[in-house]
Each structure stands twice: as structure tokens, then as C-alpha cells.
């Protein structure tokens, strides 16, 4: 399982008042009102202010991009650098790409036979994506 401790290390969780989910200040942009929704048990985050979102791996990458941690500070002992987690991140990126493809198919569909075929393709692809997400979630625990 991914190490969710990274949230507790880099976020001020005091606004949660002991809860395991809620909104806190986002470290990725300046703000006065909490806009980063975080679920500590689920290991996911979404900022309604700047749009950053994802899981532990995404959060760690964003911390590196914003200079909170250095890339060389993450050694092989860190759970998000282990092979299964790296594979998980690659699968998540492919799932995101497939979701973008679904949206593009829907956006370009018109009320014609070709448009309806695009919508059917989008629905088929979305079913595959949902099944893949469920399988990955189950595998990662």
C-alpha cells in the first residue's frame, strides 16, 4: 500500500480537527481559504483552486515540481519509488489518457450516424476504463 504519510508531512491538517477527510490549505498556490480536498484514508487529493489532483504519487511529483522536496531526497526505500507503485502510476497515466480520449469522442460527436458511432465508441472505452480503475484499486488495496 502507498505511504499516505506524505500528506501528513506536507499539509497542515489542523483544519480537519481529527477527521480523515476534508479541506485544507493547498501548498501549490497562495490562498487564505482551504481549497485542497484531501482524503487521508483514500490517499487522494483535489484542489478546487488550482486544479491539482490525484493520488500519493501525483502529490509527491507536485511537491518535487514546486520545490518542497528534492528528487534525490527520494531514495529506493520510499514506497512510491518501488516497482509496483511505479507501474501503478504508469497505469494511472494510461487511464487518464483514455478518459481524455472518451471526452474527445463525446465532444466531436454530432447527430449523424458517424457521431452516434463515436458516442458508442466512447461508451465502450469508458466501460474498459472503469473496469481497469476498479481492478487497479483492488490490486493496490
How much is the pLDDT for 2? 45
Give 77-105 pLDDT, tens digit per residue.
Answer: 455 455 555 566 677 778 888 888 888 88
Higher pLDDT, 17 or 115: 17
Write down the domain spans for the chain. Answer: 5-73, 82-140
Q: Is 34 within 8 Å of 15 (Cβ atoms)?
A: yes
Residue linked to cell 501528513: 8
Three-class DSSP category at 39:
strand
With residue 53 as reference, give the H or E element that holds it: strand 53-55
Q: Mean pLDDT, to the nearest integer, of 43-62?
A: 89
> Which CATH superfamily groups domain 5-73?
Zinc finger, CHC2-typedomain (3.90.580.10)
Q: Is the pLDDT score of 139 beyond 90? A: no
Q: pTM of this prediction?
A: 0.50
How much is the pLDDT for 46? 94
The number of helices, as runs of H, and strands, as runs of E, in the chain is 4, 4
Amino acid at each position: 500500500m502507498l505511504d499516505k504519510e506524505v500528506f501528513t508531512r506536507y499539509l497542515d491538517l489542523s483544519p480537519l480537527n481529527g477527521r480523515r477527510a476534508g479541506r485544507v490549505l493547498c501548498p501549490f498556490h497562495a490562498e487564505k481559504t482551504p481549497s485542497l480536498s484531501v482524503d487521508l484514508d483514500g490517499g487522494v487529493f483535489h484542489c478546487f483552486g488550482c486544479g491539482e489532483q490525484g493520488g500519493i504519487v501525483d502529490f509527491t511529483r507536485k511537491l518535487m515540481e514546486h520545490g518542497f522536496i528534492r528528487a534525490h531526497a527520494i531514495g529506493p526505500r520510499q514506497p512510491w519509488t518501488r516497482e509496483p507503485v511505479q507501474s501503478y502510476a504508469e497505469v494511472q497515466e494510461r487511464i487518464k489518457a483514455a478518459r481524455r480520449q472518451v471526452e474527445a469522442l463525446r465532444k466531436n460527436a454530432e447527430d449523424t450516424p458517424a457521431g452516434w458511432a463515436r458516442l458508442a465508441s466512447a461508451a465502450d472505452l469508458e466501460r474498459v476504463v472503469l473496469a481497469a480503475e476498479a481492478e487497479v484499486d483492488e490490486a493496490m488495496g
